[in-house]
Amino acid sequence: MEFLKRPMKFAFLWLEGWFDRFFGPKWNPFYCLGALGYYYFWIVAASGIYIFIFFDTGIPQAFTSTEYMTHDQWYLAGIMRSLHRYASDAMVVMVLMHLCREFAFDRYRGGRWFSWVTGVSTLWLVFSAGVTGYWLVWDKLAQYIAIASTEWLDWLPIFGEPIARNFLASSHFDGRFFTLLVFMHIAIPLFLLFIMWFHLQRISYAKVNPARGLAVGTLAMLFVLSLVKPAISHEMANLAEVPGVLNMDWFYLWAYPMIEHLGPGFMWAFAGGGTLLLILVPWLPPKKRRPAAVVDLKNCNGCTRCVTDCPFRAVNMQPRTDGAPFREEAVVDPSMCVSCGICVGACPTAMPFRRASDLVAGIELPDLSVAHIRAQAHEAAVPLNGKDRIIAFGCDHGCDAAKLGINNLAFVPLRCAGMLLPSFIDYVLSKNLADGVVVSGCREGECHHRIGNVWVDGRLARERDPQLRRRVPVERLLKNWAAPTDRRQLFTEISAFQARLRDLPEDDAATRLTLVNGGKTDGTETSETAA
Amino acid sequence: MMKPAQIIAQATVYALFALGIGVLSTRPSYTHFDPARALIKVSFAHGGEPVTACRKRSRAELKALAANMRKASICPRQRVALRFELSLDNTVILSETLPPTGWRGDGSSKIYRRIPTTAGRHTIVAKLRDSRRDQGFDHVSRHTITLVPGQSLSIDFKPAHGGFIYE
Which residues does chain B have within 8 Å of residue A222's beta carbon, measured at their own beta carbons?
Answer: 18
Same domain, B123 and B45: yes
Residue B88 placed within a domain: yes
Looking at residue A105, what is its pLDDT? Answer: 95
CATH, residue A237: 1.20.810.10
How much is the average pLDDT of A502-510? Answer: 69
How much is the average pLDDT of A267-277? Answer: 97
Characterize the bridge pairing of strands A294-295 and A245-247.
unpaired
Q: Which of A280, A304, A335 is the last residue of a domain?
A: A280
How much is the average pLDDT of B64-70? Answer: 91
Rounded CA-CA distance A239/A59 in Å is: 11
Q: Which of B27, B33, B154 sits opposite A243 (nearest CB)?
A: B33
Tens of pLDDT, residue by residue over A118-174, are 999 999 999 999 999 999 999 999 999 999 999 999 999 888 889 999 898 888 888
Contact B26 A225 (CB under 8 A): no
ipTM field: 0.89
Same domain, B41 and B25: no
Rounded CA-CA distance A93/A89 in Å is: 7
Looking at residue A507, what is its pLDDT? Answer: 59
Which residues does chain A have within 8 Å of residue B101's beta carbon, measured at their own beta carbons?
Answer: 160
Angle at B131 between CA B130 and CA B134, to 5 degrees: 105
Looking at residue B78, what is its pLDDT? Answer: 93
| pLDDT of A17 strictly over 80 | yes
Same domain, B83 and B160: yes
| pLDDT of A322 strictly over 70 | yes
Same domain, A131 and A209: yes
How much is the average pLDDT of A192-214? Answer: 95
How many C-alpha atoms does B86 have within 13 Å on its Cβ side? 22
Q: Which of B34, B101, B152 sits opposite A160 (nearest CB)?
A: B101
Contact B39 A242 (CB under 8 A): yes
Rounded CA-CA distance A300/A318 in Å is: 12
Chain A nearest-CA distance from B15, in A, is 7
Phi/psi of residue B9, nearest 5 degrees: -65, -40
| pLDDT of A242 strictly over 60 | yes
Same domain, A33 and A118: yes
- Domain extent for A48: 24-280
Looking at residue A522, what is its pLDDT? Answer: 38
Q: Which of A415, A430, A416, A296 has the alpha carbon at shortest distance from A352?
A: A430
Structural domains in chain B (count): 2
Confidence label for A513 from pLDDT (cuts 50, 70 and 90): very low
Confidence label for A518 from pLDDT (cuts 50, 70 and 90): very low
Asked if A45 and A192 count as a contact pair (C-beta separation under 8 A), the reply is: no
Same domain, A227 and A298: no
Q: Is the dihedral of CA A440, A8, A337, A29 positive or negative?
A: positive
Residue A113 placed within a domain: yes
CB atoms near residue A471 (< 10 Å): 14
Confidence label for A508 from pLDDT (cuts 50, 70 and 90): low
The CA-atom distances, in angstroms, between B61 and each of A36, A173, B57, B72, B75 are 74, 48, 6, 10, 14
Same domain, A256 and A341: no
Q: Is the dihedral of CA A204, A205, A209, A213 positive or negative?
A: negative
Same domain, B18 and B83: no
How much is the average pLDDT of A273-301? Answer: 93
Packing angle, helices A264-280 and A255-262, rounded to 10: 130
Tens of pLDDT, residue by residue over B78-123, are 999 999 999 999 999 999 999 999 888 999 999 999 999 999 999 9
* pLDDT averaged over every residue in chain A: 91
Chain B nearest-CA distance from A209, in A, is 18
| pLDDT of B2 strictly over 60 | yes
Contact B10 A22 (CB under 8 A): yes
Looking at residue A159, what is its pLDDT? Answer: 84
Least confident segment among A36-50, A231-245, A356-370: A356-370
Contact B17 A221 (CB under 8 A): yes
Rounded CA-CA distance B23/A249 in Å is: 9
Q: Residues of chain A with pLDDT > 70: what percent?
A: 95
| pLDDT of A523 strictly over 60 | no
Same domain, B87 and B15: no
Q: Which of A160, A164, A165 sits opposite B107 (nearest CB)?
A: A160
DSSP readout, A5-23? HHHHHHHHHHHHHHHHHHH
Same domain, A266 and A333: no
Same domain, A390 and A453: yes
Q: Which of B22, B26, B167 sits opposite A169 (nearest CB)?
A: B167
Looking at residue A289, what is its pLDDT? Answer: 87
Same domain, B45 and B84: yes
Same domain, B157 and B136: yes
Residues of chain B with a CB closer than 8 angstroms to some CB in chain A: 6, 9-10, 13-15, 17-18, 20-22, 24-35, 38-39, 41, 43, 45, 101, 107-108, 110, 112, 150-152, 154, 156, 167
Three-state SS string over chain B comes to CCCHHHHHHHHHHHHHHHHHHHHHCCCCEEECCCCCEEEEEEEEEECCCECCCCEECCHHHHHHCCHHHCCCEECCCCECCEEEEEEECCEEEEEEEECCCCCCCCCCEEEEEEEEEECEEEEEEEEEECCCCCCCCCEEEEEEEEECCCEEEEEEEEHHHCEEEEC
Chain A nearest-CA distance from B14, in A, is 6
| pLDDT of A68 strictly over 60 | yes
Looking at residue A514, what is its pLDDT? Answer: 40
Residue B72 placed within a domain: no
Same domain, B93 and B153: yes
Looking at residue A356, what is its pLDDT? Answer: 66
CATH, residue B43: 2.60.40
Residue B111 placed within a domain: yes
Tens of pLDDT, residue by residue over A348-392, are 998 899 876 788 899 999 999 999 999 999 999 999 999 999 999
Contact B152 A242 (CB under 8 A): yes
Q: Could you tell me how many residues make up chain B?
A: 167
Structural domains in chain A (count): 2
- Domain extent for B116: 37-51+79-166
Tens of pLDDT, residue by residue over A441-477, are 999 989 999 999 999 999 999 999 999 999 999 899 9
Asked if B119 and B151 count as a contact pair (C-beta separation under 8 A), the reply is: yes
Same domain, B148 and B117: yes
Q: Which of B4, B118, B98 has the alpha carbon at shortest distance from B47?
A: B98
Rounded CA-CA distance A51/A28 in Å is: 32
Taking chain B, what is the end-to-end CA distance rounded to the nearest angstrom?
68
Residue A254 placed within a domain: yes
Which residues does chain B have within 8 Å of residue A257's beta carbon, measured at their own beta carbons?
Answer: 30, 32
Contact B18 A224 (CB under 8 A): yes
Residue A10 placed within a domain: no
Contacts A–B by Cβ distance under 8 A: 123
Which residues does chain B have within 8 Å of residue A240's beta carbon, measured at their own beta carbons?
Answer: 151-152, 167
Same domain, A173 and A28: yes
